[in-house]
Structure 1
Amino acid sequence: MWRSYDRVRPTVKTVAADDEHGSAWLSVRALEVLRDEAALAEDWDGVAGVARELLAARPSMAVVENRLNRVMSEADEHAPGAVERSAREGIASAVEADRAAAAVAADRIDGARICTLSRSGTVRAALELADPEAVLVAESRPGGEGIGVAESLATRHDVTLTSDAALAGQLAEFDADAVIVGADTILPDGRVLNKVGTYGLALAAVAHDLPCYVVAAADKIAPETDVEIEQAPTALYEGDADIAVANPLFEVTPADLCADVCTDRGTLDEADVADVAARHRSFREW
């Protein structure tokens, strides 16, 4: 059975190369890698080395860092078996945290007409719990993952797909009641790092007097304020002209544009976010 699993199990390389899934999903895969390698490791140094490789694999994803550091810091002894047990517990708690955050957000959008963009498993779970009247989804370039999201939601909901450029104007046409977005990272000061387009959507929500809810597990709160913005220049321009290309995959949205940050710990204000960030910094001490 192990030989069969070994051919398909997640690895440091697959975690590093994955550009199809969100950070919460990847954090669980990273914990699975750590669990498996801890089961194989002969000593603490070996498993600690794997943990460091995983931390370096996705440096911009705070939830990967936080969940890996928690598992390592909460292992009750410096031994591979302790890390394996801690990783198993970490996987279970990570899955439950995402569900709990979705439930908090669902209470705020139940039965409403909702707008969203990009792809977030936690947003998807919140929509399934809330059963909104209708959903407006932006295509979410670069990558266009909003198209797949719209298709997946269409089996249960009244869904409208629109372009990123038309999204602000479509809020009124669609008669939206609220906006809900996920977060790749929540910074210690409450700002939200998410797929590009989130900032513009949050501004449009304010202009239309709509609440913009952010939903994410508290493990997505970053220990520090440093932000690494990934770019996809060739997705915008591959010509020969001597021009600079700015095509970010993510952007930072100010905290004051977000009505609530919905997490597995309930809704958090800026002071709450700062407290969680401090706790996440303490996990680094392992």
Structure 2
Amino acid sequence: MAGNRLTTSLGWDDGAVVAVDQRALPHEYRLLRLESVEHLVEAIRSLAIRGAPAIGLAGALGVALSVRRHSNGRTVDVRAVHHDATLLAEARPTAVNLRWGVSRALRRLPDGPEGVLAEALAMLDEDAATNRSAAGRAADLVISLTADRPARILTHCNTGRLATAAVGTALGAILELAGRGRVEEVLVDETRPLLQGARLTTWELGEAGVPHRLCVDAAAAAAMARGLVDCVLVGADRIAVNGDVANKIGTYGLALAAARHGVPFIVVAPESTCDPTLADGSGIVLEERGPEEVTGFGGVQVAPARSAVFNPAFDVTPAELITAIVTERRVIRPQGDGDGDRGSLAERVAAQTREVADFPFPGVRFQDLSGVYAQPRLVRDLAHALAGAYRGRFDHVLAVEARGFLLGMAVAQASAKPLTLCRKPGKLPGPLHTVSYDLEYGTDTLQIQRDRIPPDARVLVVDDMLATGGTLAAAEKLVTAGGGRVCGHGVVLEIAALAGRRRLYPSQVFAVHTVGGAQ
């Protein structure tokens, strides 16, 4: 302890479990001293101790309590300890961490009270290290998937040090990003009906000095639609083998909204949250809680007394809606392609790019991106990154022939914006806008149909590569001819030595990967 505060959310003190009473926050910081398994079970059920990792650790400490209680110094009443362990493991059914923590502590039962306690205390120390590792991995992933600027992050429920022993999972990643100067703002879902986001997450962010705003749960989708969210970060209570995730009620709705608006949806959780016995989320038991949590709050009745209530504490988010699951050991892409997902987005592009000498003419070093387009997950992540770089600033996508079509379609899908194709001559029926331009090794012409760019449309121009800038400059002229305006250009690769960015000035350019050599 430090003064009258714990340095972690829970711990052990002279034969008792000591924990922060999360029911009292943010108005009062109050510690509970729990000297029996019965009191600990009640603390878990009443959410005085909550959060999947935290209740797993509480379960382990509870076994240590039981062994001390049922030991006479020479022998342990094993039957009584197993009875208490069952009470602990069944206190809340959804989070797999609780049963995991109890089972792990029980394995040390042959070593007596001191052996069990040593295991539980080791788990507390491991939790902090585990969370730091997962938070760092998740922060790296967020940076790779979002624009090169401080991110606007939305989170749900509480996943900080209160929900773990220390550091936190999703909130730990947010604090890691903030420490790197990569957080513009955090939108915090209030998390009805018990307001863990409003009461606990805002309290933790306030103590850490991270800019944040409280968000009504029902406004989260609207925030994404308005371009206020670059990434969603949440925790988990149980993860099935296929990547289905059980988490606080409301998470599934967030994932649907994120998929609709092309916002990366990332789950951060320890490996202990992964359940190897469940093939998919259909087997997850979802806890339902009492109606009083919904019909009233703070002792005030807000609904008619006889109203029937549906109050599930959790929901299951299907794997296909999840961009990535990050643990202390790995980044899991539920719909991904394995090792090709490792590294930053720029590193992944570089790994799939091949330089071809003297093509299409002698002296040209051609950057072949065919390998990039052979990786579906990489294309999806590129689309999210390009859309995220201009989120809220465009309402139309213009893709340039030919390889720009592949990326442009993905960006249009990721952002749910209409797509216009910018083509070579003879490919589109008229009337047309036409512009000719110089290439680094010749001339070319581009065309768009006159009625495809609405007047005053804000257009994001997408192509695979920026070399001299001639192609993108021509595309910008076509947008202007149609009455629109270019909000910026997005490319996979920029060849810096050819200075194409200067030709496009003052328009903004976002390039995922930059190389220095001439094409």
* Cα 1:45/1:231, change in 2 over 3 Å: closer
Give the structure 1 partner of residue 151 of structure 2.
112
Give the structure 1 partner of residue 54 of structure 2.
25
What are the superposed Cα offsets for residues 103-155 of structure 1, whole Å, 9 maximum, x if unpaired? 22122235321111111122221111111121111111111121122243145
**2:311 partner SS:** coil
Distance 1:226 1:5 in 2: 29
Instruction: Report the identity percentage.
Output: 30
Distance 2:105 2:223 in 1: 44
Distance 2:254 2:286 in 1: 21
Q: Is the 8 A contact 1:10 1:32 kept in 2?
A: no
Q: CA deviation at 1:79?
A: 4.1
Q: TM-score, normalised by structure 1?
A: 0.82
Q: CA deviation at 1:78?
A: 6.2
1:226 aligns with 2:251: no
Q: 2:309 aligns with which of 245, 255, 271?
A: 245
Amino acid at match of 1:14: L
What are the superposed Cα offsets for residues 165-189 of structure 1, whole Å, 9 maximum, x if unpaired? 1110112335321110011221233
1:262 aligns with 2:313: no
Give the structure 1 partner of residue 128 of structure 2.
95
Larger RCO of the pair (alpha carbons < 8 Å, separation 6+): 1
Amino acid at match of 1:93: E
* Cα 1:2/1:172, change in 2 over 3 Å: same
1:162 aligns with 2:215: yes
Q: For the aligned residues, what is the CA RMSD?
A: 2.8
What are the superposed Cα offsets for residues 52-71 of structure 1, whole Å, 9 maximum, x if unpaired? 22112223221011122123
Amino acid at match of 2:205: L
1:125 aligns with 2:176: no
Give the structure 2 partner of residue 45 of structure 1.
79
Q: 2:252 aligns with which of 199, 222, 233?
A: 199
1:145 aligns with 2:203: no
Greater shift, 146-155 or 176-185, is seen at 146-155
Q: 2:263 aligns with which of 200, 210, 220?
A: 210
Q: Is the 8 A contact 1:35 1:88 kept in 2?
A: no
Give the structure 2 partner of residue 15 of structure 1.
41
Q: 2:102 aligns with which of 68, 85, 93?
A: 68
More strand by share: 2
Q: CA deviation at 1:46?
A: 3.9
More helix by share: 1
Distance 2:84 2:67 in 1: 9
Q: CA deviation at 1:80?
A: 4.1
Distance 2:244 2:187 in 1: 24
1:188 aligns with 2:234: no
* Cα 1:166/1:32, change in 2 over 3 Å: same
Greater shift, 202-211 or 85-94, is seen at 85-94
Q: Is the 8 A contact 2:286 2:313 kept in 1?
A: no
Which has more radius of gyration?
Answer: 2
* Cα 1:68/1:96, change in 2 over 3 Å: farther
Tell me the number of residue pairs that the alignment of Structure 1 and Structure 2 aligns. 270
Give the structure 1 partner of residue 293 of structure 2.
235
Q: Is the 8 A contact 2:245 2:318 kept in 1?
A: yes
Q: CA deviation at 1:27?
A: 1.8
Q: Is the 8 A contact 2:233 2:265 kept in 1?
A: yes
Amino acid at match of 1:120: T
What are the superposed Cα offsets for residues 225-282 of structure 1, whole Å, 9 maximum, x if unpaired? 33233234333344255x64323221111111111111112112459xxxxxxxxxxx
Give the structure 1 partner of residue 64 of structure 2.
35
Amino acid at match of 1:49: H
Distance 1:32 1:208 in 2: 43
Distance 1:84 1:158 in 2: 39
Q: CA deviation at 1:5?
A: 7.7
**2:243 partner SS:** coil
Gaps of 5+ in 1: 272-286
What are the superposed Cα offsets for residues 58-104 of structure 1, whole Å, 9 maximum, x if unpaired? 2322101112212323x284644433333333332233223322222
**1:36 partner SS:** helix
* Cα 1:77/1:209, change in 2 over 3 Å: same
Q: TM-score, normalised by structure 2?
A: 0.47
Give the structure 1 partner of residue 224 of structure 2.
171
* Cα 1:4/1:88, change in 2 over 3 Å: closer
Q: 2:118 aligns with which of 82, 85, 102?
A: 85
Distance 1:61 1:147 in 2: 22
**1:140 partner SS:** coil
**1:176 partner SS:** coil
